[in-house]
Chain A
């Protein structure tokens, strides 16, 4: 946590130094999505982060906050862009789960066990937090999103995000089971996984109505549940006898769409849409306990406005809907992200 924080702060300080920012045009490095890759707010784009052109090295640091009623999701991290060709990034996400959610989740799971196992005693679940580290890399395969105005060929990049959930198997104390982790409890099979994605981005200068429009499509192969915050894959075990009931560790293909419009030289508005695998839905153990859709996932989307006063700094505000989270069926979040870049 400290390492990523230090790297983030260092990158932010570096980017505010008086020396010239990189040579890219304003806004053409994108902002940083909440998993650390250059792009929009939810979605990685084919753009390479930072202001460095093909002869330069650039980078960025970000801090993002999402307040979603009983959940709070923060993420922070830094990335480097090499010669407008390769991007590497490091990010940490932290999902703070309010005590009410932990209590209800525990109650949903334990309630069915009490008749069998007897009095649970007086263990009081407290609030919990789920942290995840994400190491990312992205390679621009071909295309120039901004300057190739002579054809419809987009800029295309291939990316990976390796995610490691630090609170998979522990972090919450519940009756009978002691110290457990919410992701494992809900039926995830592992604490880490790798997403592979392909993004295609195109900027249309002067179109529509004289404004610059950016469109992006991303295809992602993933095993993650709730972006990885609820673990990876699915493995459902009967809690009473350890019998394996269900397992699914295959990658699913998801897609993501973004549209962003420069309405003013320093202001961008946009919207994004991202599908999720919904791997933990209809989970048999949760079903037996009466809450089969506790970990159901919906598609996520957002609408945002970003202010880019200069090449070093930007602020993005958004309204995000992350869909269902355990015991919070409609997770509408206020989203705020700060980015420094060089």
Chain B
């Protein structure tokens, strides 16, 4: 087997990844370690100057799509039942704070860690994905560019093991 071709391909792929890694987020106070989710590959491989928070357009944008996402979730037959009796304005506030902080903004999330927050709800993987899809639809409806949408997802994805099956 000729080893040059696979080596070239592998090297090109790694170079492509390195060259295209764009913006990092800042974990302002290291709270990622505290809150049961670890820093995503996206965060670790990116190198640029402005944070995802800035590129999203700040807190206003995040508030808008969080608001929209929660409204969609409350009418989503697959998962709405998990939100019975929940204080919705407080949920929206905490989600906004959480995403703001993860995206490198000047917020401190002070809600529960993900495991405690979802304890005894027995959330399934399908339900977690349903929430992700509502966030995707909300971001698109609020004209968040597709590239930034994926970077927000990259911040939410690591929460999955802490959220499901608790």
For B150, list chain A residues within 8 Å (CB): 205-206, 210-212, 262
- The verdict on A176 contacting chain B, using a C-beta distance below 8 Å, is no
Q: How far is the CA of A150 from the CA of B125 in the complex (A)?
A: 17
Interface size class of B (residues with CB under 8 A): 35 or more
Structural contact, A208 and B19, CB atoms closer than 8 A: yes
Given A205-B40, A206-B147, A206-B153; A147-B158 close (CB under 8 Å): yes
Give A262-290 as 1s and 0s: 1 = Cβ < 8 Å from B's Cβ atoms. 10110000000101000000000000000
- The verdict on B117 contacting chain A, using a C-beta distance below 8 Å, is no
- The verdict on A255 contacting chain B, using a C-beta distance below 8 Å, is yes
* CB contact list, A86-136 vs B, under 8 A: none
Main secondary structure of the interface of A (DSSP, over half): loop
For B38, list chain A residues within 8 Å (CB): 150-151
Closest chain B residue to A213, Cβ basis: B17
Q: How far is the CA of A55 from the CA of B37 in the complex (A)?
A: 23
Nearest Cβ on chain A to B155's Cβ, whole angstroms? 8
Closest chain B residue to A23, Cβ basis: B126
Pick the contact of A207: B9, B21, B160 (CB < 8 A). Answer: B21
Main secondary structure of the interface of B (DSSP, over half): helix
Stretch at the interface among B88-96, B105-113, B127-135: B127-135
- The verdict on B136 contacting chain A, using a C-beta distance below 8 Å, is yes
- The verdict on B13 contacting chain A, using a C-beta distance below 8 Å, is yes
- The verdict on A238 contacting chain B, using a C-beta distance below 8 Å, is no
- The verdict on B116 contacting chain A, using a C-beta distance below 8 Å, is no
Q: How far is the CA of A215 from the CA of B154 in the complex (A)?
A: 16
- The verdict on B119 contacting chain A, using a C-beta distance below 8 Å, is no
Q: How far is the CA of A205 from the CA of B40 in the complex (A)?
A: 9
- The verdict on B124 contacting chain A, using a C-beta distance below 8 Å, is yes
For A299, list chain B residues within 8 Å (CB): 5
Structural contact, B126 and A22, CB atoms closer than 8 A: yes
Structural contact, A149 and B9, CB atoms closer than 8 A: no
B contact residues vs A (CB 8 Å cutoff): 1, 5-6, 9-10, 13, 16-17, 19-22, 37-42, 45-46, 78, 124-127, 129-130, 132-133, 136, 140, 145-154, 157-158, 160-161
